[in-house]
Amino acid sequence: MKTALVTGGSGNLGRLLSRQLRSRGVQVVQFDIPEAEPQDKDADEVIVSGDVRDSALLEKLIKEHKPDAIFHLASLLSGTSEADIEMAWQVNATASFDLMRLALANDVGQFFFASTLATYGAGVADPLPEDEPQWPDLFYGATKVAVERLGVYFKLKHGLDFRCLRFPLVLSPFAPPGALTAYPSHAFKAACNGETSYVFPVSGHIGTSTLFIDDVISSIVNYNWADKNKLNRHAYSLHSYVMRGDMVEEAIKKRFPDFNARYEPVAAAEHMLGGLPDVVDDSHARADWQWSPDYDFDGTAAKMFELFS
């Protein structure tokens, strides 16, 4: 891989992925809305501002830079999608459709899409088998499952090297505000900033399959470097450990004994996180491209404290 286009390139995953790709010698074009542009740009960051719905601009960019891979991360998240479903459809679904067609028309070859466990909907089996039917009940999940299907169509019909990972909740020091799943990340940050209390919008006993951000980034890199012929599935679900609010509270209290979680469940967050499984079968990823996360919950908590101190 010589050149890559990363949409959502100023986001939580996009910036770290871009750094990782650059460290492998890949020239990276990070694409994001101007409002997302970071203040602390790295010297070698090439950031292009624009809207992913502007397919004429993306066509110009692809023709100019000739990427051999697109990492498509630009998206509205769970909360923001539910709040504006028209815009969520345009950004998450229509723009993805247009971008995959541009990838095909310009011989980009490899197209990575970041999907989510929210494509399965609530009340699924736990542990979640990968082949569980995907019937999302939130608009975010509906847009994501639509793109999964479109990607598979373009792969089977036109040979696009479509690759897709379904992430569970991601714990990250850079967790975006628009995700219903971001509260544990924000709780760590609040405690490290000296706050002695934080409102958890989900009951403490509700568990959710979780990954630490560093494992997310290495999964994207390793999967996209994997031999195409060894990938037996169109998409893979990933899992590392179960995380509950009370585990987050306990971990923070060990470090900051005065800290208290205030549990004030919000229906939408409780519904989404309560509906996600604690454990996900990720054996296909482990077998096909040797997926193996480095971080368990304790390792994640230690790293979050280190990064915020």
Ligand X SMILES: NC(=O)c1ccc[n+]([C@@H]2O[C@H](COP(=O)([O-])OP(=O)(O)OC[C@H]3O[C@@H](n4cnc5c(N)ncnc54)[C@H](O)[C@@H]3O)[C@@H](O)[C@H]2O)c1
Q: Which of 96, 110, 181, 240 binds ligand X (CB under 6 A)?
A: 181
Pair 263, 183: CB distance under 8 Å: no
Q: What is the dihedral of CA 20, 22, 23, 25, to 10 degrees?
A: 140
Question: Please, what is the minimum distance in Å from the beta carbon of residue 89 to ligand X?
Answer: 12
Name which of residues 49 to 78 contact ligand X (CB under 6 A). 51-53, 73-77
Instruction: Give CA–CA dist 9/61, Å, rounded.
Output: 14
Please identify which residue in 48, 88, 91, 142 interacts with ligand X, judged by CB under 6 A. Answer: 91
Interatomic CA distance for residues 94 and 17, integer angstroms: 24
DSSP class of 204: T
Footprint of ligand X on residues 246-265 (CB under 6 A)?
Answer: none
* DSSP H stretches of helix in 112-180: 139-158
Distance CA 220, CA 71 (A): 9
Q: Could you give the CA distance from residue 213 to residue 184 in angstroms, rounded to a whole number? A: 13
User: Under DSSP, is residue 98 helix (H, G, I), strand (E, B) or coil?
Assistant: helix
Do you know the residue count of the chain? 309
Nearer to ligand X, 258 or 296 (CB): 296
* 192 vs 211 by CB, closer to ligand X: 211
Closest distance between ligand X and the C-beta of residue 229, in Å?
26
| 184-243 positions binding ligand X, by CB under 6 A | none
Query: Closest approach of Cβ 209 to ligand X, in Å?
Result: 10
Residue number with CB closer to ligand X (146 or 255): 146
Task: Select from 126-134, 173-181, 245-253, 285-293 the region that touches ligand X (CB under 6 A).
Answer: 173-181
Which range binds ligand X by CB under 6 A, 122-130, 177-185, 220-228, 284-292? 177-185
Q: Which stretch binds ligand X (CB under 6 A): 59-67, 100-108, 174-182, 195-203?
A: 174-182
Is 82 or 229 the residue whose CB approaches ligand X more closely? 82
Identify the residue among 146, 150, 169, 273 touching ligand X (CB under 6 A).
169
Residue 13 interacts with ligand X (CB under 6 A): yes or no:
yes
Q: Which is nearer to ligand X, 253 or 266 (CB)?
A: 266
Minimum distance of ligand X from residue 193's CB (angstroms): 20
For residue 192, give the nearest of 306, 298, 40 by alpha carbon: 306
Stretch that binds ligand X, among 46-54, 124-132, 149-157, 192-200 (CB under 6 A): 46-54
Buried b (16+ CB within 10 A) or exposed e, 55-87: beebbebbeebebbbbbbbbbbbbbbbbeeeee
Here's the x/- map for ligand X, 119-158, by CB under 6 A: it reads as ----------------------------------------
Hey, which residues does 112 pair with through a beta bridge? 71, 163
Q: Where are the beta strands (DSSP E) in the chain?
A: 3-7, 27-32, 46-49, 69-72, 110-116, 161-167, 169-171, 197-200, 207-212, 235-237, 241-244, 260-263
Instruction: List residues near ligand X by CB under 6 A.
Output: 8, 10-14, 32-33, 36, 51-53, 73-77, 91, 114, 116, 167, 169-170, 176, 178-179, 181
